[in-house]
Amino acid sequence: NAGVTQTPKFRVLKTGQSMTLLCAQDMNHEYMYWYRQDPGMGLRLIHYSVGEGTTAKGEVPDGYNVSRLKKQNFLLGLESAAPSQTSVYFCASTRPKIYNEQFFGPGTRLTVL
Amino acid sequence: AQSVSQHNHHVILSEAASLELGCNYSYGGTVNLFWYVQYPGQHLQLLLKYFSGDPLVKGIKGFEAEFIKSKFSFNLRKPSVQWSDTAEYFCAVSLNRDDKIIFGKGTRLHILP
């Protein structure tokens, strides 16, 4: 099993550009999450999904959109990138019941100039 | 709102020293508690978790944590650290009725050889 994979690994954008980050998991997990990690801020939840076709806002959803058209994929979109969105983005997945372990992807380092 | 506090932002220890990292949370209901570790350049991995039963939880690599409900705490301990324990450590909390986890801001641990 590959676990949780993320593409791309690195990306540089100019302010105002758009992009989509892809997260894929092969563990048949129901729940998937997008976090951003910034120095001194820990991980902050952007959006999450508890099943195919469902999404919900997390702690810092502004400026991001998500879609979960297939159970194994969770896409994070930036419609108009801003320098404040420079960060490392992690995707995670887990089985239902929140006491289960979250499995994390390797991360995407995004720089917005 | 639910929150997680990690008291130490940066800890420096020598090899063989004992470690204790503090974690407190602010919620009075039934919680699930986690410690994750992030080695340099890598993604988060689960060290240990508590959701019921014995409040002293043992994890991987010799780590353990104690859940003290009256103090709303879940401190991480290791009797003798190694250089390879250099990493960032995150405490996290979830509620039984919720679908998401709240992470603390992390503690950077640096072990001197």
Instruction: Give tens-digit pLDDT for A59-100.
Output: 999 999 999 999 999 999 999 999 999 999 999 999 876 567
Q: Spell out the SS3 assignment of A25-55.
A: ECCCCCEEEEEEEECCCEEEEEEEECCCCCC
Q: Which residue range is the domain that position B38 belongs to?
A: 4-112
Dig out the tokens for A74 from the structure. 């969770």
B36 close to B89: Cβ distance less than 8 angstroms: yes
Q: Which of A28-32, A80-84, B1-5 has the lowest mean pLDDT?
A: B1-5
SS3 content of chain A, % helix, strand, coil (to 5): 5, 50, 45
Contact at CB, B46 and A102, closer than 8 angstroms: yes
Contact at CB, B90 and A42, closer than 8 angstroms: yes
Angle at A93 between CA A89 and CA A98, to 5 degrees: 115
Contact at CB, B9 and A105, closer than 8 angstroms: no
The predicted pLDDT at position A61 comes to: 96
Look-up of token digits 């499995």: A103
Mean pLDDT of B82-100: 88
- State the nearest Cα–Cα gap between A9 and chain B, in angstroms: 12
Q: What sign does the CA torsion over A39, A42, A45, A50 have? A: positive
Domain extent listing, chain A:
4-112
The predicted pLDDT at position A76 comes to: 98
Q: Which of A99, A103, A108, A109 to mutate to test the interface with B (most CBs of B within 10 A)?
A: A99
Mean pLDDT of B3-24: 95
pLDDT of B24 higher than 80: yes
Q: How many structural domains comprise chain B?
A: 1
CATH number of the domain at B89, please: 2.60.40.10
**Beta strands A103-104 and B4-6: pairing type?**
unpaired
Q: Which of A2-6, A62-66, B29-33 has the highest mean pLDDT?
A: A62-66
Dig out the tokens for B56 from the structure. 């002293």
The predicted pLDDT at position B27 comes to: 80
Q: How many residues does chain B have?
A: 113
The predicted pLDDT at position B19 comes to: 97
The predicted pLDDT at position A39 comes to: 87
The predicted pLDDT at position A99 comes to: 61
Mean pLDDT of A5-25: 96
Q: Which of B34, B51, B52, B99 to mutate to test the interface with A (most CBs of A within 10 A)?
A: B99
User: Which numeric CATH code is attached to A4-112?
Assistant: 2.60.40.10
Cα A48 to Cα A92: distance, rounded to the nearest angstrom? 9
- Mean of pLDDT over chain B: 92
Contact at CB, A98 and B90, closer than 8 angstroms: no
